[in-house]
Amino acid sequence: MTIAEIIVDVPTMQTNLPYSYVVPKELETKIQPGMRVVVPFGKGNRKVEGFVVKVDHDTEKAATATTQLKSLTSLMDLHPVVNTELLKLSQWLAETTYSFRISCLLTMLPNVMKAKYQTLVVPVAPVTDPWLLDHFPHQDAIPLDQDHFSNQELARLTELRKQGQVQIQYQVHNQAKPKTELAVLNQIQDFERCRESIRKNATGQLALLNQLERHPKTPLQQRTLVKQTGISPAVIKNFENRGWITKTTVEKYRNPEQHPIARDQPKRLTTDQQHAVSTINAAVTDQQPTTFLLEGVTGSGKTEVYLQTIQRALDQDEQALMLVPEIALTPQMVTRVKRRFGDQVAILHSGLSNGEKYDEWRRINEGTAQVVVGARSAIFAPLQNLGLIILDEEHDPSYKQSDNPRYHTRDIALWRAQYHHCPVILGSATPSLESRARAEKDVYHLLRLPERINGQQLPEIQVVDMTNALERTGDLFSNELLQALQATIDRHEQAVLLLNRRGFSSFMLCRDCGYVLKCPHCDISLTMHLDSHTMKCHYCGYETAIPTECPHCHGHHIRYFGTGTEKATQQLQQLLPQTRILRMDVDTTRKKGAHRRILQQFGAHQADILLGTQMIAKGLDFPDVTLVGVLNADTGLELPDFRASERTFDLLTQVAGRAGRAEKAGQVIIQTFNPEHYAIQLAQRQDYEAFFHREMQLRHLAGYSPYFYTVLVTVSALKEKEAAAEAGRVSSLLHDNVAQTTEILGPTPRPIARIKNRYYYQIIVKYKHDRQLPAALNRIQAISQKEVRKGFRIAIDVEPQSFM
């Protein structure tokens, strides 16, 4: 008898223990770990989905035990969708992030493969198998489920899939179907006889006949026939009526990068680059899972190091995975990789439609793509033979997933590197303190690129004290910055301006009664957006009309405070009327392709100034940008987070690095109310090493990462009192079960205490060594399941990247 162990997908009864099911006889030799199945679950034998994690053939279980086991109902896949490596990874991920294995497994799959999508079986033309001909008389797609196929038939389909006679497609209900093309399939046996029956001057018909004769067994795309050989649709119709062809469809890959990209050659490396490349390449060749920290100042040519080490992996028939933060996944970066590696590259990012993502995923799964470039979730790309993993901008907080499973991409990269025996490159101009500290202890191998390419100087940075500047101009733009902007434009060069807040004004205050307009669902004031004429909540998306009077006292003395990108653009336009300004923030890049368009316009000099939020700080490489201005360096410093200084230093360094990257020298102006702050002063000197040592001392004194580990436990409920009480219970459970030396801070209300009508309390656990902690957190995880039914949500976040 064959038993399958299955992780079931039942949201309210999650457990990390698999359930055992008997495998029906017909499927015994077909079922494999990593396939999804349908099983009966619970008292009502409700049908639920699950993942096979293990298959035991010939189990000698006692008859009494097995008679109590239920039988699984059917297969949802004809082949594993999660491979052996990723199955193993899911287990480790569940354990280390205190999440449920089912959510780990689901996280690894592209969206289209998740439950609400229908799986279809499609025969691959030309169909020869008699059984297939019988079951798919019209050669169309049939849903892969129990209504359509018995288990015996499912078993047969797994075989046919292996032989390439059927394919699997995923269809989104009520959404775009998988992209297919109309095609025609030849049915003619005797071409000579057909040719005789065609009039000699019917050139279209003869042309089609020739095409068919040349490709008697492959479906021909109708569009290509019409476009390239000039065969009219009427001719095709005619052939169909005579029974010479049948209509069919062929699936086509949706290619997100349409235009062809010219290839380039590897660059001649500088001495520092050469050292880095040969050190890393040695590890690629020797299959050493070494972690390299590539600390290179902005514009030092880190990307070229990535490209040449990827090449080494490809040379030995291995694959490479390159991760970039979502907002750094700019068209510029994608183009650079495609230029070097062409069609071998697959791109995964949130700008793609689900269908496009699935196509890219499939190219990876089938081994067509050798290089994968993607944002966070691409770390799960099912590459089978990894030779190198790269995390660019490794310090970026977006590498941490904020939902279950709350993993850090870096940890997964290191795990996969061990599995594949391949090196990892962590690259950054401003490495995270954690990584830099590990390099200090030789856990990571430090490689430095201390100079810019061609010996270019880092740009000169000037700090403008806005407490004085304000008195002079009373505005968002200091005279220094305005003059520098004017000069840049006069020289026909370009400027980039950073303002880390979108919208127009950040809050509305009534001067009569002091009322501040807040989101009704969150503890946060609403931001005015002039382009949509609304007040928006940046946390839950709530929108309401811009009030003309105070909703509280009905007074008319309303004032708006705080400046966002929208207002800054408007003001700047008034100050420099002739200037062409492009704004780039979440609001202007919402539409597909907008991001690319804005950058293209800027690159083509259709604008003088690019003003935007932090999305402009990363990865941009425009030779004519000689001025960078930071309008408000302080927004990040005020956050209640021990990483506030690090984040500010990183952002300033990154954005400053956009200036003067080519021949022309760059200039940077940072406006701040805290000119004495060490993060700002050291960013001015662009001295990462000094910042690292200074910040390490402070972290040591305060007992924070990397000296201590932290776990954040958050409890929420609809009523504030209940959230507080539950947080209290969780906190005492922790107190009673962790090591003496472990510190437990809180519970305290979260800095933004209410979001989407839920009240949040948080507990911070700080420790150095604590063997008991995992068991305590496991208990909390188990409890969280029961508490959900009472309306509580408990989240465990290991090494949190945000405390908001």
Ligand X SMILES: Nc1ncnc2c1ncn2[C@@H]1O[C@H](COP(=O)(O)OP(=O)(O)OP(=O)(O)O)[C@@H](O)[C@H]1O
Binding positions for Zn(2+) are 510, 513, 519, 522, 537, 540, 550, 553
684 interface partner picked from ligand X, Zn ion, none, CB below 5 to 8 A per type: none
CB of 645 to ligand X, least distance (A): 20
Among 46, 263, 267, 605, binds ligand X (CB under 6 A): 267
Between 390 and 489, name the residue whose CB sits nearer to ligand X.
390
CB of 454 to ligand X, least distance (A): 7
Between 55 and 540, name the residue whose CB sits nearer to Zn ion.
540
Q: Is 261 in the site for ligand X (CB under 6 A)?
A: no
Write out the binding residues for Zn ion, residues 338-397 only, by CB under 5 A.
none
What angle, 0 to 180 degrees and rounded to 10, lies between the N-to-C axes of helices 222-229 and 203-214?
130
Write out the binding residues for Zn ion, residues 625-654 only, by CB under 5 A.
none
> Which among 500, 499, 517, 610 has a CA at the least distance from the CA of 561?
517
Those residues with Cβ within 8 angstroms of residue 399's Cβ, 6 or more apart along the chain or in another chain: 323, 325, 376, 391, 408, 409, 410
Angle at 219 between CA 215 and CA 223, to 5 degrees: 105
Please give the size of the binding site for ligand X, defined by CB under 6 A.
Answer: 19
268 interface partner picked from Zn ion, ligand X, none, CB below 5 to 8 A per type: ligand X
In degrees rounded to 5, what are phi and psi of residue 80?
-60, 135
Write out the binding residues for Zn ion, residues 482-521 only, by CB under 5 A.
510, 512-513, 515, 519, 521
Whole-angstrom Cα distance, residue 742 to residue 114?
A: 40
Considering only the stretches 294-302, 457-465, 630-638, 682-690, report the one whose residues sit in contact with ligand X under the rule CB under 6 A: 294-302
> Which among 221, 244, 217, 241 has a CA at the least distance from the CA of 231?
221
Whether 453 and 299 have beta carbons less than 8 Å apart is answered as: yes
Whole-angstrom Cα distance, residue 31 to residue 35?
A: 7
CB of 621 to ligand X, least distance (A): 5
Q: Is 156 in the site for ligand X (CB under 6 A)?
A: no
Take residue 356 and report the two structure tokens written for it: 């496009």
Take residue 377 and report the two structure tokens written for it: 């979730």
657 interface partner picked from ligand X, Zn ion, none, CB below 5 to 8 A per type: ligand X
Take residue 540 and report the two structure tokens written for it: 């839950």
Binding string, 411-440, against ligand X, x = CB under 6 A? ------------------x-----------
User: What are all long-range contacts of 268-274, with beta carbons under 8 Å and residues at least 24 apart?
Assistant: 269/301, 269/304, 269/305, 269/308, 270/301, 270/451, 270/453, 272/300, 272/448, 272/449, 272/450, 272/451, 273/301, 273/304, 273/305, 273/449
Q: Is 268 in the site for ligand X (CB under 6 A)?
A: yes
CB of 752 to Zn ion, least distance (A): 10
Tokens 């050291």, located at residue: 682
Write out the binding residues for ligand X, residues 297-316 only, by CB under 6 A.
298-304
CB of 322 to ligand X, least distance (A): 12
552 interface partner picked from Zn ion, ligand X, none, CB below 5 to 8 A per type: Zn ion
In degrees rounded to 5, what are phi and psi of residue 715?
-120, 135
CB of 236 to ligand X, least distance (A): 49
Between 233 and 520, name the residue whose CB sits nearer to Zn ion.
520
Binding string, 449-468, against ligand X, x = CB under 6 A? ----x---------------
Considering only the stretches 293-301, 438-446, 673-681, 781-789, report the one whose residues sit in contact with ligand X under the rule CB under 6 A: 293-301
CB of 692 to ligand X, least distance (A): 17
- CA 801 to chain centroid: 16
Q: How far is CA 63 from CA 4, 21, 29, 68, 69, in A?
A: 16, 14, 21, 9, 10
Rg (alpha carbons) of the chain, rounded to whole number: 30
Whole-angstrom Cα distance, residue 414 to residue 714?
A: 27
Considering only the stretches 183-191, 262-270, 559-567, 783-791, report the one whose residues sit in contact with ligand X under the rule CB under 6 A: 262-270
Binding string, 620-649, against ligand X, x = CB under 6 A? -x----------------------------
Whole-angstrom Cα distance, residue 467 to residue 634?
A: 12
299 interface partner picked from Zn ion, ligand X, none, CB below 5 to 8 A per type: ligand X
CB of 180 to ligand X, least distance (A): 40
Whole-angstrom Cα distance, residue 419 to residue 422?
A: 8
CB of 508 to Zn ion, least distance (A): 10
Going by the DSSP 8-state scheme, the letter that residue 26 receives in this structure is: G
Between 268 and 789, name the residue whose CB sits nearer to ligand X.
268
Annotated binding-site positions: 510, 513, 519, 522, 537, 540, 550, 553
Take residue 547 and report the two structure tokens written for it: 């009030």
Give the up-direction half-sphere exposure of residue 644: CA atoms within 13 A in the CB hemisphere. 14
CB of 556 to Zn ion, least distance (A): 9
Considering only the stretches 168-176, 267-275, 515-523, 665-673, report the one whose residues sit in contact with ligand X under the rule CB under 6 A: 267-275
Considering only the stretches 131-139, 263-271, 317-325, 501-509, report the one whose residues sit in contact with ligand X under the rule CB under 6 A: 263-271
**315 Rama sector, left if φ>0, alpha if ψ -120 to 50, beta otherwise:** alpha
Whole-angstrom Cα distance, residue 323 to residue 383?
A: 14
Between 25 and 554, name the residue whose CB sits nearer to Zn ion.
554
CB of 370 to ligand X, least distance (A): 21
The residues with which 583 forms a beta bridge, in sequence order, are 611
Write out the binding residues for Zn ion, residues 540-569 only, by CB under 5 A.
540, 542, 550, 552-553, 555
540 interface partner picked from Zn ion, ligand X, none, CB below 5 to 8 A per type: Zn ion
Whole-angstrom Cα distance, residue 751 to residue 761?
A: 9
Tokens 């609809």, located at residue: 718
Whole-angstrom Cα distance, residue 202 to residue 97?
A: 70
CB of 510 to ligand X, least distance (A): 45
Whether 662 and 625 have beta carbons less than 8 Å apart is answered as: no
Among 110, 423, 619, 746, binds ligand X (CB under 6 A): 619
296 interface partner picked from ligand X, Zn ion, none, CB below 5 to 8 A per type: ligand X
Contacts to ligand X by CB under 6 A: 267-270, 273, 296, 298-304, 429, 453, 619, 621, 657, 661
Residues that bind Zn ion (CB under 5 A): 510, 512-513, 515, 519, 521-522, 537, 539-540, 542, 550, 552-553, 555
